[in-house]
Structure 1
Amino acid sequence: MNSKIACFPVSAIRSFAILSVMLIATVTRADQPNIVFIFADDQCFETIGGLNNAAVETPNLDKLVRRGTTFTHAYNMGSWSGAVCVASRTMLNSGRFVWNANAIYDKSEKERSEGRWWSEYMKAAGYRTYMTGKWHCKANANKAFDVARDIRAGMPGDTEAGYQRPAADGSDPWSPSDPKFGGYWKGGTHWSEVVANHSQDYFSQAASRDEPFFMYLAFNAPHDPRQSPQEYVDKYPVDSIQTPENFLPVYPYAEQIGCGPKLRDERLAPFPRTPHQVNVHRQEYYAIITHMDVMIGRILDAIEKSGKADNTWIFFTADHGLAVGQHGLIGKQNLYDHSVRVPMVVVGPGVDAGKQIETPVYLQDIMPTTLELANVAKPEHVEFHSLLPMLDGEPSPYQRMYGAYLNKQRSIRTETHKLIAYPEAGVLRLYDIAADPREMKDLADNPKSKPLLQEMFAQLQDLQREMNDDLDLTALKPAN
């Protein structure tokens, strides 16, 4: 336990939260910690320098990792949309699993107005709520938060010059640092800097107020167009970038799984990919992450200056990961770990410092965790689980992790293996993720794997029923 920030063990916090639901009249604002939620977009789990990738400079995220507990296997369930951000964020704010979130997606504003929305629960619990940055939900952010500025409906604007690049001959019409291409530079100030600017102002406001605060600080970074000042790009010379071990020029089932040349994300680089092209995209990816990290540092400094750091919980995660050249893919519309697994760090009073929890969770578990901290009884429709029991040493409530993309991909992940199903390709792929974490060796056609293949397929169908997933995978069922 971190002696610098520890006040009570997490078990004590949970016990109090349960008791407070029974004795709600006794709850005062002093019992409720401040909550800061810092949200990245498209950030793969293996992009934190001090945790798992020394090639990326992230000193401020490294600081969070040292101060708090990292969930090393945090996942997004997938998406009903090519814009995976939409599904992830609707799940997060509604608390519902993917297909149940899809069912209410078009009614999100009604859900919010009737109180079934993350920020509405926080407001009802007495929190002053703040938001800035990427939203990508159908609920009205201006109404969802007490204070909301520069709400970004989706990704920054793009230009055709930013696609199918660089060319095979090395030529490139686009620059990540030139403001003439708009995107993050629209408005005159880089959007990551805008998030930091508003965040600092929010903490200045909150410092003089008595009620607890909930801040939803959502970066667009490192989503494409991956733009940052030239000094950050220069930190990552292309010839110093390591091509991913699981690089492929083309993914063999790209078309059948919805990741062919027509998908916007995949058009960012030419088909087939080359190591140089992938390394250029990874250069820009690392640069915008490092730039965002500097802005996160400003946010952390503002928390300290507010005078309220000792009673503040910080949650950092991303809405999903990104391939950036792994498996021949550029985007996130796939079920490999690089695209569904995200960084997730929790810092707060009583949270162990420098600890890593490897058992699996979903990133959306942050939502019910904050409700428990705020002494809000878990609503019946919220399907994700509080992380507080796991922070106190209890096992994950999830024994098998589910994944889905449109009606084109399904997956199930256990502690040791992952099964991916491609119904339109008529293909199952099986990986021993304990021995093969890069998911490079498909075991599905190995006769020795047949019993495991059959078992995991049956478990996947069971998960589908639990998730209200009506996609019929019967044609893929392994023969006896």
Structure 2
Amino acid sequence: MLPPSALFLHGSTLLRIVIFTLSCLAASFVHAAEKPNILFLFADDQAFHTIHALGNDEIKTPNIDQLIKNGTTFTHTYNQGGWNGAICVASRAMLNTGRFLWHAHDLENDIKKQWVPNKRMWAQRMAAAGYQTFFSGKWHVKADTKNVFEVARHMRGGMPNQTDAGYDRPKSRDDVAWKPWDKKFEGFWKGGRHWSEVLGDDAVDYMSLAASDERPFFMYLAFNAPHDPRQSPKQFVDMYPVDKIQVPQTFLAEYPYDIGSNRVRDEKLAPFPRTPYSVQVNRQEYYAIITHMDHQIGRILKALKQTGQAENTWIFFTADHGLACGNHGLLGKQNMFDHSMRVPFAVTGPGVDAGRKVGQRIYLQSVMATSLALATGNVPEDVEFESLLPLLKDGKPEVTGDIYGAYTDTQRMITVGHEKLILYPKTGVSLLFDLKADPDEMTDLSSKNGSLARKRALFQEFLKHQKVVGDKLDVSEAFSELAVAGT
């Protein structure tokens, strides 16, 4: 196992090696005289298991499926977590600054005052590399997109406006007041046209603008979908008859531990205790808005091809974090389970292998470093996430690597190999899972023989990762039994 310093940090010698290697790799992917276009498609709240081509037979995602077929998929991609209930804030701050979770937290209030004026944001670095930059959709970063992108339209906040009718439902099969296609509730329909369709309109227009410019383009297209309120046209909802929606194997009426997020806003979307039917309705609407978003992605890909820019374009598709949506008695993303930490991540582009799967665990924010490596041949020293170019070249399907996760001061997580340790510092509860034998995280192994030694080993790895990501929370007192090293 590599120490965190080798996994994440750049010593001077290592940095020179990395820059040289990335330059060679970038050259092997990109024609010498031609920088590639970068198309970044970003979903909101989309869990890793919500794509047909990746094993979900219930959902229809033909256009995302095509990206999976034509490119390479990182099957174990994660967000590091969040410092408040709006996990997307932390995810997007990390994405646009290149800094790990708690480093991004420390600089969040400086983004507008220092990072934007000093042109250190992702899009600004791409502009400095000669790119025309475009934006549409959800931003949720403390800066104005007009000061970050050359062309920016329809900057959206964290979520569409909410109404009481969208919460605590359905209480029964007779509870049918809410209809995802009813525009009177506004939300995604505010303004008269669904926000995903507006983003699609912007993107189609951007393709024409980019085609008329000599510069390569960097296009940051961030859907608010499939975040709640999960609204879509009726034809998409009708694709998913509610009685045919599967209830997750991990269904619980209520999550049994206090994790500091049991009653946050997201969890109030469905009644307590959960019922199979309420979960089916929430998942029906979740699948429908994803399929509707997929349709807009199809429009964007068609425009890319019709404007003659597809052959020299790298496409990255991912999401800011996942969502429980009925797993483990939870609805939201403020937890450490894979359904809420893991996201889809697909890459297509010149020289990228088609239909390939890479199992190395990565963070979704590595897309920033990868695009900069493609654009400039190296990754700036202050960007902490790593370029994926080496893994695109040599990555294997086997699942390997370590992942850290955190939520406020109430939850922590470390995954090493096939083992995962979840910590709840406020209550001193710790859970141990074998992800190879139990990928749905249904069986806590804490009571099994040998589990204490395994938890102690994982705890030591967690402490190392804490230092790397700037996590100052002292968890040793809450888990004194685990803090004993070497036993």
Which bracket does the TM-score occupy, shorter chain normalised? over 0.9
2:150 match: 146
What SS does the aligned partner of 2:136 have?
A: strand
Aligned: 1:107 with 2:110: yes
Deviations along 1:366-396, whole A, 9 cap, x unmatched? 0000000001532222100000000010579
1:23 match: none
What SS does the aligned partner of 1:108 have?
A: helix
1:29 and 1:212 in contact (8 A); partners too: no
1:406 match: 408
How much has 1:107 moved relative to structure 2?
1.0
1:47 match: 50
Task: Name stretches of at least 5 consecutive residues in structure 2 with no aligned partner.
Answer: 1-19
What one-letter code is carried by the residue in structure 2 that aligns with 1:132?
Answer: S
Trace 1:81-480 onto structure 2 (pairs within 5 A): 81-109=84-112, 110-168=114-172, 170-253=174-257, 256-261=258-263, 263-375=264-376, 377-394=378-395, 399-474=401-476, 475-478=478-481
1:29 and 1:126 in contact (8 A); partners too: no
What one-letter code is carried by the residue in structure 2 that aligns with 1:150?
Answer: H
How much has 1:397 moved relative to structure 2?
13
1:34 and 1:214 in contact (8 A); partners too: yes
TM-score under structure 2 normalisation?
A: 0.91
How much has 1:330 moved relative to structure 2?
0.0
1:397/1:103 Cα in 2 relative to 1: closer, same or farther (>3 Å)?
farther
Deviations along 1:174-198, whole A, 9 cap, x unmatched? 1111000000000010000001000
What SS does the aligned partner of 1:470 have?
A: coil
Moved over 4 A (4+): 11-14, 16-19, 394-398
How much has 1:12 moved relative to structure 2?
9.6
Partner Cα distance (1:248, 1:222) in 2: 23
Partner Cα distance (1:16, 1:422) in 2: 41
Partner Cα distance (1:220, 1:14) in 2: 35
2:138 and 2:224 in contact (8 A); partners too: yes
1:35 and 1:214 in contact (8 A); partners too: yes
1:371/1:355 Cα in 2 relative to 1: closer, same or farther (>3 Å)?
same
What one-letter code is carried by the residue in structure 1 that aligns with 2:212?
Answer: S
2:74 match: 71
Tell me the matched-pair count. Answer: 461
1:407 and 1:471 in contact (8 A); partners too: yes
1:454 and 1:477 in contact (8 A); partners too: no
What one-letter code is carried by the residue in structure 2 that aligns with 1:160?
Answer: D
Aligned: 1:15 with 2:16: no
Aligned Cα RMSD in Å? 2.0
What one-letter code is carried by the residue in structure 2 that aligns with 1:434?
Answer: K
Partner Cα distance (1:215, 1:100) in 2: 26
Task: Name stretches of at least 5 consecutive residues in structure 1 with no aligned partner.
Answer: 1-10, 20-26
1:221/1:428 Cα in 2 relative to 1: closer, same or farther (>3 Å)?
same
Partner Cα distance (1:68, 1:379) in 2: 26
Deviations along 1:112-157, whole A, 9 cap, x unmatched? 2212110010010110000000000002211100000001022011
1:121 and 1:376 in contact (8 A); partners too: no
- When structure 1 is superposed on structure 2, of 442-451 and 169-178 the one drifting more is 169-178
TM-score under structure 1 normalisation?
A: 0.93
2:40 and 2:220 in contact (8 A); partners too: yes
Partner Cα distance (2:327, 2:104) in 1: 29
2:181 and 2:231 in contact (8 A); partners too: yes
1:84/1:459 Cα in 2 relative to 1: closer, same or farther (>3 Å)?
same
Deviations along 1:42-66, whole A, 9 cap, x unmatched? 0000011122201000000010000
1:36 and 1:314 in contact (8 A); partners too: yes
